[in-house]
Amino acid sequence: MGTEIRTFSTLKEMNDYLIDQINQYRALYEDYSQWLGSLLRSCEENCKNEEWYQKSASLQKNLRGASKARARETRNGKKGGGSGKNSEPSCWVSSGEILLCTTEQGQAEILFEAIEEIGRKIQGLEKFKSGTQQLERIGFGKNVNYITLIKDDVPCKIVIRSMSSVQGSEAFSFITDMSVSALFNDSSSHLD
């Protein structure tokens, strides 16, 4: 889902949601990284002298060997380079608002783009999670609802609303004492 508003009744509930999202994105990140590695290995013999392959192979090594932040900086540097932009139009064909490609280069590009975007989402989720932990440390948590704006699967804003007071919830409670034995004794006498 792109944009949504979700209400959490506790910071623990929100934290569990964030952990679940982070784990799902990490698994997806790993799957796409493995897919990219397999693609590059299968293209190695036929494409190893092509510029796109050499760049892709070095970027893929950075994904594995370096921290995510360093790999992201390297990939961003690639996009800014003139030679990377000159090679893109040769493999992509425009069909209206859609770009089409039939080559391994195009497949590698979309995998890198997806991996990059997933990395940004993981980073955003982790930053938000650390912010919620800070809320917990300063005492938020009880009798509060957290109405959260989530954009592109990453929470970005919270509205904190007080839950109805304990007295208000007691107004809707029903308390009664009932003697079951007295009911059964009276009803059995009428059945005879």
Above 80 in pLDDT, residue 113? Answer: yes
| Domain boundaries along the sequence of the chain | 12-140
Query: Mean pLDDT across the stretch 95-119?
Result: 90
DSSP letters of 31-88? HHHHHHHHHHHHHHHHHTTSHHHHHHHHHHHHHHHS-HHHHHHHHHHHHHSHHHHHHH
pLDDT tens digits for range 151-188 = 999 999 999 998 764 344 444 444 445 445 544 555 55
Give Dmax over CA atoms of the chain in angstroms.
Answer: 100
Query: Mean pLDDT across the stretch 55-82?
Result: 48
Query: Mean pLDDT across the stretch 1-16?
Result: 91
Question: What does the pLDDT read at residue 46?
Answer: 66
Name the band, by pLDDT with cuts 50, 70 and 90, for residue 48: low
Three-class DSSP category at 135: helix
In whole angstroms, what separates CA 154 from the centre of its chain?
Answer: 6
Cross-strand pairs, 98: 95
Taking alpha carbons only, the member of 9, 62, 10 closest to residue 37 is 62
